[in-house]
Amino acid sequence: MICILMGVSGTGKSTIGKLLSQKLGWKFYDADDFHSEANISKMKQGIPLEDSDRLPWLQAIRAKIEAIVARQDNGIFACSALKQSYRELLQGNDPQVAWIYLKGSYQQLWQRMQDRPEHFMKPEMLQSQLDTLEIPQDALTVDIALNQAEIVDRIAKYLQDLADLKPGKLR
């Protein structure tokens, strides 16, 4: 199974992904690591990415998902996946991809982004992400106001429930 934690910057995708990885024993992948240097440079300058910038990034993540699925392994990805078309590309034809939407208020997100000045995603870009976000209809939605342990427990239970509906169990 593949779990993709999605949402705008500042929702805690990477933090929750690492904690979930520890809880489940699955490998964690941060989608930020798949960005080109050109994309990172744009974001550091406060320039929002365009779909043409994102396509190779999404394709690289999809290739990694395919490799994990081919090994019949599990993985957790932290990826903004703001648009439905991005999620469709990442999903491919794999029914074992589970979506988790981490949702927070503008104020929560802004504050979190202010608290991490070393990150290449600048707080001034938050509104552009919120404007781009197409709220998923096929995801577990988790409020980031919950504490990290509660968030991880909810996601783990959701994944277990999904696994109970599919052949084979979580490993």
pLDDT at 163: 84
Tokens of 24: 């489940």
Tokens of 153: 């427990």
pLDDT at 168: 47
DSSP 12-23: -HHHHHHHHHHH
3-state secondary structure of 1: coil
pLDDT at 64: 97
pLDDT at 96: 87
How far apart CA 128 and CA 108 sit, in angstroms, is 16
Token pair 């994102």 is at which residue?
A: 54
pLDDT at 103: 95
Q: Give the pairing of strands 97-103 and 75-78.
A: unpaired
Domains plus CATH for the chain? Answer: 2-164 (3.40.50.300)
pLDDT at 169: 45
Neighbours of 163 (CB within 10 A): 17
Q: In sequence order, what E strands does the chain have?
A: 2-6, 27-30, 75-78, 97-103, 140-143
**Backbone dihedral region for residue 160 (phi beyond 0: left; psi -120 to 50: alpha; all else: beta):** alpha
pLDDT at 170: 47
Mean pLDDT in each 10-residue stretch from start to end of the chain (171 residues)? Answer: 92 95 97 90 81 93 96 96 96 93 84 59 64 92 95 96 66 41
